[in-house]
Amino acid sequence: MLAMALDEQLELFPKATRQDIEKAKAMLSRYRRMKMILDDFERNPPETVKQIEAQESTTRYTRIIERAVNQIVDYDVKSVIEYRFLRGNSRAATILRFSGWDYCDKTIDRKILDGIESVANSLLYL
């Protein structure tokens, strides 16, 4: 009973729920598309209020994702998440890229899941 109470007191940040993790995965999956939209806005500045609002929203979205990914502590997990989601590569390309680490595809999948969970935990307070 005392150990459980101490665990609750020591937890500074809330843990992500399954829904939070699914939301983080969806956000990571959309990141590359949002980054392309931002690049287009840089080449072609917004002219209407709607376009300006879209640019601001997209900028906030991409910055939050980038901050959450930067807060991943494990270097391997961070590298895999950056390659898979921020650079927009497929799962197969990610496994092929990191196969030189002597990890099997299941290990890389676990690193992807660990990274998504870390991003979801970070998104709870960003």
Q: Note the pTM of the prediction, 2 decimals.
A: 0.85
- State the Cα angle at 89 between 107 and 98, rounded to 5°: 35
Q: Report pLDDT digits (tens) over 22-46.
A: 999 999 999 999 999 999 999 999 9
Comparing C-alpha atoms, which of 78, 62, 64 is closest to residue 117?
Answer: 78
Every domain of the chain and the residues it spans: 18-123
Q: Report pLDDT digits (tens) over 66-119.
A: 999 999 999 999 999 999 999 999 999 999 998 887 888 899 999 999 999 999
